[in-house]
Amino acid sequence: MKHGLRWAALAVGAVVIVFAVILALNVGSDPQTDALESQLLGKQAPDFSLTTLDGQPLTAADVAGKSVLVNFWNTWCIPCQTELPALKKFYAAHSDDSDFVMVGIVRRDDTKTVREFVNGEGIGWKIALDPSKQAALDFGTRGQPETFAISPGGQIVAYKPGPMSLAELEAFLSHARQAG
């Protein structure tokens, strides 16, 4: 009886060890690290068809051939408000660049509130509304703010969740331009 229990315990132990090794080899990477990456990096940016705050259509074709920064945000988002001074300073420095477009895409916010916020803050870049959240889904966003840099060839070359600094915005634009 003693030997039978010993063999059973050894067999259970061996099964647990094999299971642990299999589990360790098949577990994905750190979820916190995954949250800092976009599955779209290095791929073509998704097509989008939105309406700007001034009622004009805005599609991916409208910005093709330019270096594009796309920033997903909301008026009520505190981190979005934190990055706003950097966005404004960055845009002021590049608003006349003929090879550059900056687009703010707003989801989960009503048009009146967005219009009042944009006017009150003096935001000059294109603001597009995403009421269906389709663009946010297509870009794989998980929160706000999230910023993507798109090369003139339409490839997503940089991504960051969370507030951007002025230096990061400059690096994103430089990377998009270099990627062509």
Q: Give the pLDDT confidence score for residue 108 in this predicted structure.
A: 86
d(CA 120, CA 156): 31
- Tell me: do 40 and 22 sit in the same domain: no
- What pLDDT is stored for residue 3 in this prediction? 64
Range of the domain at 62: 36-179
Same-domain pairing of 12 and 75: no
Q: How many domains does the chain have?
A: 2
| Residues paired with residue 57 on neighbouring β-strands, in sequence order | 51
For the stretch 101-124, pLDDT in tens is: 999 999 889 999 999 999 999 999
149 and 75 in one domain? yes
The verdict on 1 and 55 lying in the same domain is no
Q: Are residues 23 and 78 in the same domain?
A: no
83 and 172 fall within a common domain: yes
Summarize pLDDT for 4-38 with one digit per residue, the tens. Answer: 666 665 655 555 564 544 544 555 444 444 455 77
Instruction: State whether residue 41 is helix, strand or coil.
Output: coil
CATH code, 121: 3.40.30.10
Reply yes or no on whether the pLDDT at 95 is more than 70.
yes
Residues 2 and 90 in one domain: no
Contact residues for 53 (Cβ-Cβ < 8 A; gap 6+) = 111, 114, 115, 118, 127, 128, 129
Question: Are residue 76 and residue 8 in the same domain, yes or no?
Answer: no
User: What mean pLDDT comes out for the span 49-72?
Assistant: 96
Q: Is residue 17 domain-shared with residue 47, that is, in the same domain?
A: no
Same domain? For 80 and 8 the reply is no
pLDDT by residue (tens digit) across 115-157?
A: 999 999 999 999 999 999 999 999 999 989 999 999 999 999 9
Instruction: Output b/e per residue, 60-71; b: 16+ Cβ within 10 A.
Output: bebbeebbbbbb
Model-level pTM?
Answer: 0.79
Say yes or no to pLDDT of 94 above 80: yes
CA–CA distance, 91 with 86 (Å, rounded to integer): 8
Are both 82 and 113 inside the same structural domain? yes
Give the pLDDT score at 90.
98
In this prediction, residue 66 has a pLDDT band, given cuts at 50, 70 and 90, of very high
Is 13 found in the same domain as 83?
Answer: no
